[in-house]
Amino acid sequence: MATTSNGLDISLALGAAGSALAWLLLSAAVVSTRRPPRIRVRDATMELPPEPPAVAGLLASDFVVPGEAAPATLLDLAARRVIDLDEVQPGNTIARVRPHHDESLSPYEQRVVDELDEKAIDGVVPTEAMTTGPEAQSSRWQRDLVREVVEDAQRRGLTTNRWTPRILWLLGIALAPAIGCLYFAIDSGDDGADDWLGWLAGGIALAVIVFGFVALSRMSRSLAQLPTESGLSAAARAVGLEHHLHEDGMFAELPPAAVKIRGRHFAYAAAFGLSPVAMASLPMGAEDDHRAWSRVGGRWRRVHVRYPRAWPPAWGKHPAIATLLAIAAAGVAGFALWGLVQLADSERPSGISSDSWHWVQRGALITMIPFALATLWAALVAVRAVPDFWSTRHVSGEIVRARRRRQWLSSGDKPKYWNYLAVDDGTSDRVVALRLRELLWREHNQGEQVTVDVTPRLGYVRAMRTATVTPIRS
């Protein structure tokens, strides 16, 4: 067999890379076949569907439970007189749970009622006190509610899990050949001609295997759904109602207590994300971070928001800082690669067995992979950063989301955050959120109309000016 001098069998390494790439193609095909279908919209209708608002929101939101499910359920309970919502003064709403009602509640509806009961003092809960606890506790509460909404949809025969155990087993088994070939490629080699191709193939296989495990782990936890035949009909009804409420436009600025007049239509509007003022007043459940309604262009439309972290590289950095980071990363990675190459090519020291030294050399070559990737990262950053020294574009639009994301390597005692503002300028239904310095981020609120001076490649915000202030901070 042809092998490298440090024990990697080239034939097996190429087999591992080929198997890994075949797995990527298989995964792409599976993902493509399991994409939510496009719903053929019926005529806009004001007729309420038999499904509750949370389930209707799932059917109209690509079969994912929307972030508005909890407050929409709260409004639906108010419309059905299970609870009372009263505006005691402008912007200040309280909730009261009625001691007696004839409604049969689903598990997630009962969860909302129990949360209010737990927080009530003398039977009253101010809306600002409706938060579901600290971040970790709130996330568990929200996930449990989402799971109960999904179970309700499945019990009604409307949806099935997008990622079934059978599919996960299929993709897991399909990854086994790449793992086996890579293992034996490392274990079976012996001395021969040095060949970088084997280690490149092995690195590709290792990267795909790691990606595969991460992807399968996320898919196993996913609660995303796909419709059944009856679910497609129900989704068409839900989308038809969404279009009617969207065209109506009356629910966007209404406070929660308006449910007394507007009834259950208000709850469905909330589930479809059409009631931003009410949602901002009901912190029981967050707005959907990745879906937002925008008024840019003179009409309401839904946009999808992305918050870059690792990609694009150095997103939000000043061009000078990004260039320095690229130089530093290239220098450190280059020095490390030089040292690892010297180690891999060095003679075996006395006192170390031949087999042990071969494993040291193999480890040195494997360790080269992340440093090679760091070099590539540095090159990409430099290519993007240098032109941004002299480039600026001007973007005018509405801040549709103001969010913070905890940095990966920040400590638990003193966490650090990335600060994002998603500005929709009306040119696309997909918005990439800008990452800003905290002082600049705090000067602007969700809902404001702003003009931003931003570099075109790194997305570095040089300046931001407010045009019209309409604060809806969440």
pLDDT in tens, 26-36: 999 999 999 98
Token duo for residue 176: 């086994």
What pLDDT is recorded for position 122? 75
Looking at the predicted structure, is the pLDDT value of residue 4 above 50? no
- What is the per-residue pLDDT for 333? 87
Better-scored residue on pLDDT, 457 or 472: 457
Please report, for the chain, the start and end positions of each structural domain, with discontinuous segments joined by +.
1-288, 319-388, 393-468
What is the residue-averaged pLDDT of the chain?
83
- CA–CA separation, 258 vs 278, rounded Å? 9
Q: Could you name the CATH architecture of 393-468?
A: Beta Barrel (2.40)
140-185 tens-digit pLDDT: 888 899 999 999 999 999 999 999 999 999 999 999 998 888 888 8
Label residues 233-262 b or e (16+ Cβ within 10 Å = b).
Answer: bbbbbbbbbbbbbbeeeebbebbbbbbeeb
